[in-house]
Amino acid sequence: MLQNNLDPEVAEHPDKLVVYGGTGRAARDWASFDAMVRTLRTLKQDETMLVQSGRPVGVMQTHEWAPRVLLANSNLVGDWANWEEFRRLEHLGLTMYGQMTAGSWIYIGTQGILQGTYETFAAVAAKKFGGTLAGTITLTAGLGGMGGAQPLAVTMNDGVALCIDCDPRAIERRIEHRYLDVRADSLDHALQLAVEARDARRPLSIGVLGNAAELVPQLLAMNAPIDIVTDQTSAHDPLAYLPIGVPFDEMAMYAAEKPADFTTRARESMAKHVEAMVGFQDAGAEVFDYGNSIRGEAQLAGYTRAFDFPGFVPAYIRPLFCEGKGPFRWAALSGDPKDIAATDRAILDLFPENESLARWIRMAGERVHFQGLPARICWLGYGERDRAGERFNDMVASGELSAPVVIGRDHLDCGSVASPYRETEAMLDGSDAIADWPLLNAMVNVASGASWVSIHHGGGVGMGRSIHAGQVTVADGTALAGEKIRRVLTNDPGMGVIRHVDAGYDIAETVAEDRGVRIPMREE
């Protein structure tokens, strides 16, 4: 999975060890990568390799239930947890940015985010547009590793997507992978294509080259008939957001040579971008932050209305988190797409009552282009993930799958992250910044038998703004793997249920009661 994260089909910049999300890396440097691969090849069943921000620092004797790898990436002590200090340490070769699934080796390409994005746009459609995006135009920016899922997620919901990116390669890549339909020649051309498709209620996604900080305000000034606005540029890292007036070709060199200057200009540009988003909200559009911290950065530049629109989690996703639902994913180590087709059938067979899940699995089977190892994602909750995992392990044991499968998830999950601008924004009890939960999550996954467990800082929203944990468990068809999978895939989503019970969410309380999640403070 470490190598898969860096497969040229999967990673955004494999030569620099960058997987996705700005500078999210799989290993600190090539010497560390080689040492990790060499160590993993000889690691025994009772040994554990320790990874400190992308560099293997030790191998210790543990036991066969212990994880084979433990990773801690990008963590800094509170008062030092800012980009300046992080970059100073990174420059000295002492740390790396692990993002969420880059440094924890469970990135599966753009599909990883596709279903979450599809679910979010489905929730927008349900909330405001009668259950479909047909006849609507969504405006967004950022067609990178994650943001590239947006156009396909919108067209899967039958809408029209107008997507801005300043990197022509990002646009071409999404077209090549069939996530984006067409590239427009200019902003006027893009809008004309969008309006024609919207009037015909025909799904269409359109890429347009340019700087979102300029084009979004221009569209507002043109009174463009936009229904939904969001953004997935790499705003969490001001050195990865193109400031107004800087040619794209000069971006990397300018960021490297004058980081402070670049940061100030990027934040000022983000303020203009966010101001236009608020303008669209004032004009009646549905506007939300898509988890990239652009509101926080705009606020730092002095724009006072940055938080006038909500983040996507409180707006659409939290009820799912209360049920322990989140981005469950798996990859076929055989490399054979037939193995994923077989697991797709198993999911349809296991959860016949869940129609939206079935719709997703069928559409994904038809439309998702695999990058690197064939993989699948679907959102499953407490009481569901363990059933799926155990079935997959049985399928490996019986030979129905030709090789083991790894089962993991994004760090963006129900009980694994503290991130006040994103996953834990506006918690009912005000506990947004309490970071005990992701640490407990990592510890319970270690105690339950996960194959590798990670604790990261700063993923998604940037330094100082999040702490999160991940687990991956290998289904190799053995009875021992079956036991580990049952515990890990029960306890991991169980953290989501207890976290939301603790914060006072009724849905979570009902789930805990109905499905037997023990909450000591509620027992006699």
Least distance CB 451 / ligand NAD (angstroms): 23
Least distance CB 110 / ligand NAD (angstroms): 8
Q: Give, as ranges, the residues between 182 and 211 that touch ligand NAD (CB under 6 A).
A: 211
Dist. CA 137–CA 139, nearest whole Å: 7
233 known ligand binder: yes
Q: Which is nearer to ligand NAD, 172 or 344 (CB)?
A: 172
Binding flag, residue 460, ligand NAD (CB under 6 A): yes
Question: Which one is catalytic: 163, 166, 378, 414?
Answer: 378
Binding flag, residue 232, ligand NAD (CB under 6 A): yes
165 known ligand binder: yes
Least distance CB 309 / ligand NAD (angstroms): 14
> Angle CA(159)–CA(161)–CA(162) in degrees, nearest 5?
155
Size of the site for ligand NAD (CB under 6 A): 34
Binding flag, residue 354, ligand NAD (CB under 6 A): no
236 known ligand binder: yes
Contacts of 413 (CB under 8 A, 6+ apart): 321, 326, 327, 492, 493, 496
Least distance CB 464 / ligand NAD (angstroms): 14
Dist. CA 516–CA 448, nearest whole Å: 18
21 known ligand binder: yes
Tell which residue, 273, 276, 272, 250, has the closest CA to residue 261: 250
Catalytic residue at 378?
A: yes
* Placement of tokens 């359109």 in the chain: 206
348 known ligand binder: no
Q: Which is nearer to ligand NAD, 259 or 335 (CB)?
A: 259
3-state SS of 355-404?
HHHHHHHHHHHHHCCCCCCCEEEEEECCCCHHHHHHHHHHHHHHCCCCCC
Binding flag, residue 290, ligand NAD (CB under 6 A): yes
Q: Which is nearer to ligand NAD, 333 or 414 (CB)?
A: 414
Q: Are 207 and 235 in contact (CB under 8 A)?
A: no
Q: Give, as ranges, the residues between 140 and 159 that touch ligand NAD (CB under 6 A).
A: 141-147
232 known ligand binder: yes
C-alpha dihedral, 177 to 181 to 183 to 186, nearest 10°: -150
Q: Are 207 and 154 in contact (CB under 8 A)?
A: no
The token pair at 346 is 């198993």
Q: Which is nearer to ligand NAD, 10 or 69 (CB)?
A: 10
Reduced to 3 states (helix: H, G, I; strand: E, B; else coil), residue 66 is coil
Binding site for ligand NAD (CB under 6 A): 12, 20-22, 113, 116, 141-147, 164-167, 170, 211-213, 232-236, 240-242, 290-292, 412, 460
Binding residues for NAD(+), by number, are 21-22, 99, 145-147, 165, 211-212, 232-236, 241-242, 290, 460
- Residues labelled as active-site residues: 378
